[in-house]
Amino acid sequence: MVRALVILLSVLLSSCQLFHITEILDTAERQLAEHPDSALATMRSIRRFEVLKPQVRARYGVLYSAVLDKNYIDIASDSLIRFSADYYDLYGTPEQRMRAYYYLGRTQENAGQILPATLSFLDAAQYTDRVDDNYLKGLLYSQLGDIYSKQHNSKKAYEYYERSYNYYKVADMPRHQAYQLYRMGCLNNYLKNISLAEKHLTQAKELAIASDFSELVTYCNTELLGTYTLLEKFDKAYELLQQIDLNYYTNSVNSTLISAIITLDYKGEKERAKELLNRGWKLAKNGLDSCNMHFCLSRIHFFNKKYTDCIRETIIWNNLNTTWTIKNMITTDARDLENELLERKSQFIQAKARRIKITLVVLIILISVVFIGGFIYKHITTKRKESELTRKLESNIAHLEDIRHNFDSQSQEISKMLHNMSANQYMIFDDLCNTYYERNSGAKLQISIYNKVQELIDTFSHDAKTLANIENIINTCHNNAMEKLRSEITFLKDDDYKILCYIFAGFSNQAIAVFINSEAGAVATRKSRLKSKIINANTQSKELFASLFT
């Protein structure tokens, strides 16, 4: 009664604890979007050792990873989210799987494991068609775009940024849309699609202003400055210069500095342009910086109609650019191979998903057909065969009982017969050996009998076939004692196994002394030592061996 009460109390406490943790997770999930810092505090109120149930632990792992990501806290260990991904891969919905793989990829990316992170993101992407969370889809494709952008695969990065933008647009998230448009504009500038870059950056700036995203407005202005300079729209570029604090962008040779120098020189502010130009040369640290500075000079000379100087700077710029491009191509070979691997992995995952989907549909159809057909057949035939099957079953059960009873009886009789047969044979020979032992020092008249008995004993104790038969009988009557002895205790000598065989067969010390041409006292001593060795060996069949010592 007490035990039952304890078990009931434990179950109730466990249920209360599970309900309490579920409530905390629900609270953190509600806080995540608007108050991520509060969600973090809520999640940290849970102690990990309290989260034991697999489905709760899986949810905890995903939600905790999401909260950390939302609070810009990067963790490199994927042990927590890995469990969630593995669990949801087996038991989760498509949305749970997608979310788990996404945050697994974010954790791997934080650890610098770019290839595993990309593969995790691609694993998550295979569920986008079956998930309605457009915000999550936007996050996923944004991360893929970032990875491909870092790998200098600009076309693939642009494709993913565009998908991210479209999902954010459906989710009605203007700030996120603006940021994706800004990224798309930057990539188009890099790809020399200047007109399209201007369009995307202008749209991004308008959305950023409308959503009060001032930081992004600044980024758009600096990128548009370079775009307008390339398009030679210097009035717009000069207007943007008035909104940009150049002190933040003149610490290195970058596109903003180059665009500012060209625009200021074109608009007649020669002294300010010259000051920035001199600063640029001082900041140049490598071939790429020098290349950009010579490009800047070539544009200035062109607009000032100094064509000879322009040609000279253009030749220098072209030579530096060619050298830097070749060097950059060599260093990016590995990235190209990695991009190819990722592309193949993506295609493989998509093809695998299609195959799995088709296979599941076919299996469901086949199982449904078989189940329905079997149900109909069973319904039709059950009533007709019920009485016949019952009668046959009862008859078979009775027959099996008879067979089992007969088998048990025969087994007992065979075992008893083998035991009696071996005991009788050994007892006769044992008596003969005892008699021989007592009289082997008798009168000379018995010498012929003695010699004959000696011959029989030698045959018995030295014949390998006879010894093998003894071992077989011992194994039959004593649960494979000799076989287990040889397999479990391997450090004994051959003579030790031979003496143990005689002992297990039930021979007396005198008989064994005759077999091995020794004294009964020596046999007793050796017998005692062998028993001690077997007991100290601590083998599985130790008790069986000990029971056979007589």
Q: For residue 495, what are the domain limits?
A: 435-547
Greater pLDDT, 486 or 435: 486
Structure-token match 């999401």, residue found: 66
Helix (H) or strand (E) holding 461: helix 447-462
For residue 246, pLDDT beyond 80: no
**Total domain count for the chain?**
1
Is residue 518 situated within a structural domain? yes
Residue 69 confidence (pLDDT): 86
Closest CA to 263 of 217, 300, 310: 300
CA atoms within 13 A on the CB side of 1: 0
Looking at 377-529, which runs of residues are DSSP E strands?
none
Residue 86 confidence (pLDDT): 92
Kindly provide the b/e burial profile for residues 485-502, where b requires at least 16 CB atoms within 10 angstroms of the residue's own CB.
beeebeebeeebbbbbbb
The answer to whether the beta carbons of residues 32 and 64 sit under 8 Å apart is no
Give dist(CA 159, CA 156) in Å, integer: 5
Residues 299-310: pLDDT tens digits?
888 888 888 888
Residues 134-152: pLDDT tens digits?
999 999 999 999 999 888 8
Give dist(CA 330, CA 324) in Å, integer: 10
Mean of all residue pLDDT scores within the chain: 79
- Which value, in Å, is the radius of gyration of the alpha carbons in the chain? 45
Is residue 396 situated within a structural domain? no
Is residue 494 situated within a structural domain? yes
Residue 12 confidence (pLDDT): 36
Is residue 3 situated within a structural domain? no
Token readout for 194 is 């200047």
Closest CA to 142 of 114, 183, 88: 183
Residue 363 confidence (pLDDT): 80
- In sequence order, what are the residues at sequence separation of 6 or more whose Cβ sits closer than 8 angstroms to the Cβ of residue 543? none
Residues 430-483: pLDDT tens digits?
655 665 565 555 554 456 556 666 666 766 667 777 778 888 888 888 888 888
Helix (H) or strand (E) holding 68: helix 54-70
Query: First CA to last CA across the chain, in angstroms?
Result: 50
Is residue 9 situated within a structural domain? no
Instruction: Quote the pTM value.
Output: 0.56
Closest CA to 57 of 33, 85, 32: 85
3-state secondary structure of 191: coil
Is residue 335 situated within a structural domain? no
Structure-token match 């007109």, residue found: 195
**Percent of all residues in the chain with a pLDDT value above 90, rounded to a whole number:** 18
Q: Is 31 left (phi over 0), alpha (psi -120 to 50) or beta?
A: alpha
> Can you give the three-state secondary structure of 31-100, one letter per residue?
HHCCCHHHHHHHHCCCCHHHCCCHHHHHHHHHHHHHHHHHCCCCCCCCHHHHHHHHHHHHHCCHHHHHHH
Residues 164-222: pLDDT tens digits?
999 999 999 999 999 999 999 999 988 888 889 999 999 999 999 999 998 898 889 88
For residue 355, pLDDT beyond 50: yes
Which of 120-124, 311-315, 507-511 tops mean pLDDT? 120-124
Token readout for 367 is 């199982």
The answer to whether the beta carbons of residues 251 and 280 sit under 8 Å apart is no
Residue 546 confidence (pLDDT): 78
